[in-house]
Structure 1
């Protein structure tokens, strides 16, 4: 009898813990890429997405970009994609020059009006990075540079999920 009561209590505790783990859905956003192409978050369906808010004037953003590139290149063939969202205060010419000279291998969006950053929080500090699962749920938010080893482990987990 005691064992059943303990088991029942344990199950209720687990259920309560799991219900507290509900993930926020990533916002539905539309944006314009550096090449002028219009895109939206609907194109992320079924992918694990890394959405990085950054600025060319942000030393940490510039410093982490080689690791963002390496992360993208490591996972891109497995259902993973990256979007770098330049903040509204970043001059588009600076963003374009940065993307070209650094050979950014992923899409770069210009958030001229700040609407994408607003939809995500709002994002006020750079870098801020979101990891989104295949179901469109925000799994992790990083303010500042992420621990890339831990990030890679989490990406591996998300790619393995159905």
Structure 2
């Protein structure tokens, strides 16, 4: 009888431990982000901020369509520690990306994924737009395929900004 109780408690403990392990959010990959201006920063440099990492391309109509909403989101939350990192895919010519950025007044950090390493690091992204929401601790909270639903995105950002780093 005593052995059965100990075995049952062990099973409960293992199930509980598994529950907490599966609740843990994956860390954002440690990648280098080369900006259009020739600077480079790493994922760790974003710690302390809530970040939307948006994979896009100049030839993607949905990507271009979502830019005004992403701009409004950046402007709404920037002062509270929110940042948008727009990652141009490796197949997008850098000159074409630079021209797009020059023609549009977008307050993002634009980076070039020249060799596909950023996309590979973020779960092998190939479809655009694809976005990842990263919390202040550098954990991926959500992956968004396609254009985000703005109300849901804003609610999530509000929640994440309220959490401690």
Specify every segment of 5 or more residues in structure 1 that has no aligned partner in the other structure, as ranges. 1-10
Structure 2 regions of 5+ residues with no counterpart?
1-11
| TM-score of the superposed pair, with normalisation by structure 2 | 0.87
SS at match of 1:20: helix
Report the counterpart of residue 3 of structure 1 in structure 2: none
Q: Indicate which of 134, 151, 154 corresponds to 2:153.
A: 151
CA distance in 1, matches of 2:29, 2:61: 27
Larger mean CA deviation between 85-94 and 15-24 belongs to 15-24
**TM superposition shift of 1:15:** 7.0
* Aligned-residue offset at 1:103: 1.2
Larger Rg belongs to: 2
Name the CA distance, whole Å, in 2 between partners of 1:102 and 1:52. 16
Count of residue correspondences: 153
Q: For the Cα contact (< 8 Å) 2:50–2:81, is it kept in 1?
A: yes
* Deviation by residue 1:77-129 (Cα, 9 ceiling, x = unmatched): 00111100000000111111111111111110010101000100100100000
- Tell me the equivalent position of 1:41: 43
**Deviation per residue, 1:44-66 (Å, 9 max, x gap):** 01110000000000010000011
State the shift of 1:31 in Å: 2.0
SS at match of 1:83: strand
**Aligned counterparts of 2:40 and 2:160: Cα–Cα separation in 1:** 27
Please provide the CA RMSD for this pair.
Answer: 1.7
- What is the TM-score when the length of structure 1 is the normalising length? 0.89
Q: Does 1:116 align with 2:118?
A: yes
